[in-house]
Amino acid sequence: MSQIVALAIFVVMFIVITTGKVKRYIPALIGGALTILIVFLLIERNVDSVTNVLNLGQMFEGKFWLPGHDHLESQGINWQTIIFIAGMMVMVEGLGDVGFFRWLCLFVAKLVHYKVVPILVSFMLLSGFLAMFIDSITVLLFLATVTIQLARMLKFDPVPVIIAEIFAANVGGSATMSGDPPNIIIGTALGYTFMDFVVNTGIIAWIGMIAVLVFFYFAFRKQLLKSQANLKAGDQHFPEPREAIENPRAFFINVAIFTFVIVLLVTHAQTGISVAFIGVIAAILTMIAAIKKVPHLFKKLDWETLVFFIGLFVCVGGLEETGVLRALAQFIGDTAGGNIIIVMTIILWVSAVASALVDNIPFAATMVPVIQSISATSGIDLHAQAWALALGTDIGGNATPIGASANVVGIAIAEKEGHRITWGRYCKYAVPAMILVVGLCWAYLIIRYA
């Protein structure tokens, strides 16, 4: 009974999130509360399950912040993920306030002499690179806005560039642990480091980036040049990058903080600092640098996303505690017959297709304990499954406008500025590009692990 109810709560929550009719934190929070009240307390009458899933005591342990070279076991709510994302949100908000992202976009545009096709290529590379270190949602928030401003000045259609930027952000984000939320969930749950992702997903991610860069270049080149044909020589008045910087001192301090945090992320396997601690350091340094703006920084913090993660982890914890995920893992293991090629293929392509249709964050959170169970029961390499899951969820989310949070943000910004991106127009380019990159990932995983 507890399995049936836990699964029913999770499925309903997932469907409501997918419809997009209400903000996703609401069904996640309600689902988490129902899991605790009905599944754990009413049906199982097991207070220990509630304690295990809430996992609050872990934050008061020294190894939560400084685990050294030991893997920090996590079950239920993954507080490492939540604290890290919250800290990075504060730092990114500080960078935005001092004009860092606008300056960077204008700097790159000036570097290519404000030519529209080079802007497409360079902004894709910029989107992919930034998404390796900060949330792809933030990357699109600033990049799409600047793209539309440039489009007005240069008289070109910004939609092709925004579609390409969305795709590049998700592909670039798959290269590192901090790039996309699914990677943060996978990395913190399984004890992977920043460099583990760079070595295992980073290589194929940037091979895929080059492939889609060529794809979008030929797909959009004629459209962009045609839409810019009406630009007159006298219309060419371009903003200087320095115009984005109002306070040079604050600008350089925040850039220095960003650089320091990236160094901490890259070296955290050597220093033994947890990603949660790195997130706290990022937030504290940003607040010290802008002490008068601390209330503003907290106000701008995306509390809804953080609450969404908490509710989601509780629902997934319900599936884990009641044994639903173990049963799913057993089914996949039995279907594959212990064959690593079949297991990797199932995880990669199912993750890609599922993430194209539903938000990739809850899917990744659900699948982590599944691949752990498959590894425990079938002896199939956990690492190979983890990289297949990361690549599938990150890149598969590109295929539709709702597959990843970055897609929703980029399309919303374009629509707000009068540039509607229909499902048909988006999927016409994103679906074949997604199949191309996931196919490359599949070949890479087979060659490397089989």
Q: Which of 231-240, 313-322, 355-364 has the lowest mean pLDDT?
A: 231-240
148 phi/psi in degrees, rounded to 5: -65, -40
**Position 431 pLDDT exceeds 90:** yes
**Averaged over 99-109, what is the pLDDT?**
91
Question: What pLDDT was estimated at residue 437?
Answer: 97
**Averaged over 35-42, what is the pLDDT?**
96
Distance CA 331, CA 337 (A): 10
**Position 6 pLDDT exceeds 90:** yes
Query: Helices 340-357 and 382-396, interaxial angle, to 10°?
Result: 30
Q: At residue 63, what is the residue type? A: K
Distance CA 134, CA 136 (A): 6
Q: Residue 310 has which token pair?
A: 């908490």
**Position 265 pLDDT exceeds 80:** yes
Q: What is the largest CA-CA distance in the chain?
A: 75
Question: What pLDDT was estimated at residue 234?
Answer: 53
Q: At residue 431, what is the residue type? A: V
Helix (H, G, I), strand (E, B) or coil at 444: helix
Q: What is the pLDDT of residues 59-81, one digit of tens each?
A: 998 889 998 877 676 678 989 88
Q: Which of 158, 77, 96, 174 is nearest to 394 (CA)?
A: 174
Whether the CB-CB separation of 278 and 147 falls below 8 Å is answered with no
Distance CA 198, CA 179 (A): 11
Question: What pLDDT was estimated at residue 279?
Answer: 93
Question: What pLDDT was estimated at residue 236?
Answer: 62
DSSP H helices in 267-302: 268-271, 275-289, 294-300
Sequence ranges of the domains in the chain:
2-62+69-449
pTM, rounded to two decimals: 0.86
45 phi/psi in degrees, rounded to 5: 50, 50
Question: What pLDDT was estimated at residue 147?
Answer: 92
**Averaged over 372-394, what is the pLDDT?**
92
Which helix or strand (DSSP H or E) is residue 265 part of? helix 248-266
At CA 8, angle to CA 7 and CA 10, rounded to 5?
Answer: 65
Question: What pLDDT was estimated at residue 233?
Answer: 54
138 phi/psi in degrees, rounded to 5: -65, -40
Distance CA 225, CA 14 (A): 42
Query: Helices 2-19 and 303-321, interaxial angle, to 10°?
Result: 150
Q: Which of 179, 182, 183 is nearest to 169 (CA)?
A: 179
Q: What is the pLDDT of residues 159-188, one digit of tens each?
A: 999 999 999 999 999 999 988 889 999 999
Q: End-to-end distance of the chain based on CA atoms, in angstroms?
A: 40
Question: What pLDDT was estimated at residue 228?
Answer: 67
Q: Which of 232, 176, 181 is nearest to 204 (CA)?
A: 176
**Position 124 pLDDT exceeds 90:** yes
Q: Report residue 179 CA to chain centroid gap.
A: 6
**Position 335 pLDDT exceeds 90:** no
Distance CA 267, CA 350 (A): 33
**Averaged over 224-247, what is the pLDDT?**
75
**223 band by pLDDT with thresholds 50, 70 and 90:** confident
Q: Residue 18 has which token pair?
A: 């997918």
Q: Which residues contact 415 (CB under 8 A, 6 or more apart)?
A: 421
Q: What is the pLDDT of residues 45-64, one digit of tens each?
A: 999 999 999 989 889 988 89
Question: What pLDDT was estimated at residue 314?
Answer: 93
Mean pLDDT score across all residues of the chain? 89
**92 band by pLDDT with thresholds 50, 70 and 90:** confident
As separate numbers, helices (DSSP H) first and strands (DSSP E) second, the chain gives 23, 0
Distance CA 342, CA 329 (A): 14
Question: What pLDDT was estimated at residue 15?
Answer: 86
Q: Which residues contact 222 (CB under 8 A, 6 or more apart)?
A: none
